[in-house]
Amino acid sequence: MRAFIWGALAVLGAFPALADCRDDAWAARSRIEASGPYRYERHVWNQNFRRQECGVIDPGRAEHEYPCSDRAYGQYEVIVIDSKVWENDGLGWFPSGERLNSFSLPELFARFKEEASCLGVVTEDGRTFEKYLFASKEGKASIARLFVDPSSGLPVRMEWDGSVNSVTTYTYDPALRIEIPAVDLEQRRATSLARFDAAVSASDPACRARFFETVERGRKASFRFSRQGFMSHDGGTMGAFSPPFSFRFHHLDLSQHYPPRDATYIADDPWAGPNGYDETKVYADLKYLRWELMPLPDEVGGTRCMGKDLVEGHEYDVIDYDIYGDDHSAKRLIQTRRMQIDPISRLPIRIQIQRPDWHDPSQQRFIDIQTRHYEPFVVTR
């Protein structure tokens, strides 16, 4: 988990070692893992983001990572015991497979060549510490500073400066325990469905009807679209759609594991049957695009008509909506989105998603994920 990774990465640095203190420095650092159970709180940041991480570690056995506050956005609670992993997204615990890689500190330390120096006894904020400095010999230069309580010999703070910065504090408590969580998948699903129904019921019926009328109107028009990716490997999608259900798209994968992908699908209308939308008529490759471009009533929870919004000199009608997906035996809120609608054509023009601000995760902002340009054409092979 991240706690093991950050704890390991925090040892990197960039200054010459004092050979006579290297053993002392390594011994001081190793006491984090040899101390027994401890609690950590970590602040992580660079010029692009800022976040907070909290948890408990029972070295060599288990880890419990949890949101640091009720205001933490999109953070799961995670328990790892040996190689087993469980997650809790607020709907209840579910098994999340096995941890394939070991993130134990000794194994990660062995991968790095580093130097260490002893900075002696320092006083900060009225407290006395033994201070050590660690420095990397390879890769990007980074520096780690370790502060040790001289009375207990235990590290209490680690500061790391590099391409990503962090400050981690440690508190030790032999009474801390991490146990296998109770899993009830039936109750988890029932809880998720009840929350979805409550979100729908709390919406203004007229606003919800207006939202789906707009989605339906967009589904019956030809348009070109671009979809922005936000995962590190997702370069986004450029494409075109023409009714009843034909697509042409180009997808770029930035991981370099896969080449850019071009595809064209001339498909039957999945809405044409007597019972309405039929998912079995949709090619697997198109299910995600359909979910992105044409969400269904059982995929949208709350809807909120927000009035007007002025963007780049154009005024749009705005509807915020919560989009859901079935994930891990639950109907789960994936994102809050914002649809900007042309007031004359009444067609959706832009979709935005709500995300934490990079520099202040407690603040939310909307950013573009999808834009459309309508023009008459037919997708052909």
Domain-embedded: residue 227: yes
In this predicted structure, what is the pLDDT of residue 94? 93
Antiparallel, parallel or unpaired: β 364-374 and 84-88? unpaired
Q: Same domain for 277 and 370?
A: yes
Domain holding 6: CATH number? Answer: 2.50.20.10
Q: Same domain for 193 and 161?
A: no
DSSP tally for the chain: helices H, then strands E: 6, 20
Q: Are 218 and 347 in contact (CB under 8 A)?
A: yes
Q: Are 340 and 311 in contact (CB under 8 A)?
A: yes
Domain-embedded: residue 106: yes
Rounded to an integer, what distance in angstroms lies between the CA atom of residue 37 and that of residue 173?
A: 6
Domain-embedded: residue 361: yes
Query: pLDDT tens digits for 314-353?
Result: 999 999 999 999 876 899 999 999 999 999 999 999 999 8
More confident residue, 4 or 122: 122
Instruction: Name the percent of the chain lying above pLDDT 90.
Output: 49
pTM higher than 0.85, yes or no? no
Domain-embedded: residue 381: no
Q: Which residues pair with 159 in a beta bridge?
A: 145, 167
The domain boundary, picked from 172, 196, 213, lies at 172
Minimum mean pLDDT among 93-97, 179-183, 290-294, 338-342: which range?
A: 93-97
Phi, psi (deg, nearest 5) at residue 320: -90, 145
Domain-embedded: residue 179: no
Total number of domains in the chain? 2
SS3 content of the chain, % helix, strand, coil (to 5): 20, 45, 35
Q: Same domain for 166 and 294?
A: no
Averaged pLDDT for residues 71-96: 85
Q: Same domain for 124 and 196?
A: no
Averaged pLDDT for residues 12-25: 55
Q: Same domain for 63 and 145?
A: yes
Q: Same domain for 134 and 190?
A: no
The domain boundary, picked from 172, 205, 240, lies at 172
Q: Same domain for 143 and 191?
A: no
Q: Which residues pair with 98 in a beta bridge?
A: 84
Averaged pLDDT for residues 4-14: 40
Residue 180 reports pLDDT greater than 60? yes
Averaged pLDDT for residues 3-15: 40
Q: Same domain for 68 and 213?
A: no
Domain-embedded: residue 281: yes
Q: Which amino acid makes up residue 75?
A: Q
Q: Same domain for 290 and 324?
A: yes
Residue 61 reports pLDDT greater than 70? yes
Q: Same domain for 151 and 207?
A: no
Domain that holds residue 36: 2-172
Query: pLDDT tens digits for 110-166?
Result: 434 567 888 899 998 889 999 998 887 665 667 889 999 999 999 999 998 888 899
Minimum mean pLDDT among 117-126, 214-223, 248-257, 258-267: which range?
A: 248-257
The domain boundary, picked from 136, 151, 172, lies at 172
Which residues fall within 8 angstroms of residue 119, CB to CB, at 6 or more apart? 131, 132, 133, 145
In this predicted structure, what is the pLDDT of residue 7? 44
More confident residue, 326 or 202: 202
Residue 255 reports pLDDT greater than 70? no
Q: Which residues pair with 348 in a beta bridge?
A: 341
Which residues fall within 8 angstroms of residue 297, CB to CB, at 6 or more apart? 212
Domain-embedded: residue 340: yes
Domain holding 289: CATH number? Answer: 2.50.20
Averaged pLDDT for residues 205-212: 98
Domain-embedded: residue 263: yes
Q: Same domain for 158 and 189?
A: no
Compute the half-sphere exposure of residue 265: CA atoms within 13 Å on the CB side of its CA. 21
In this predicted structure, what is the pLDDT of residue 137? 64
In this predicted structure, what is the pLDDT of residue 100? 47
Q: Same domain for 23 and 168?
A: yes
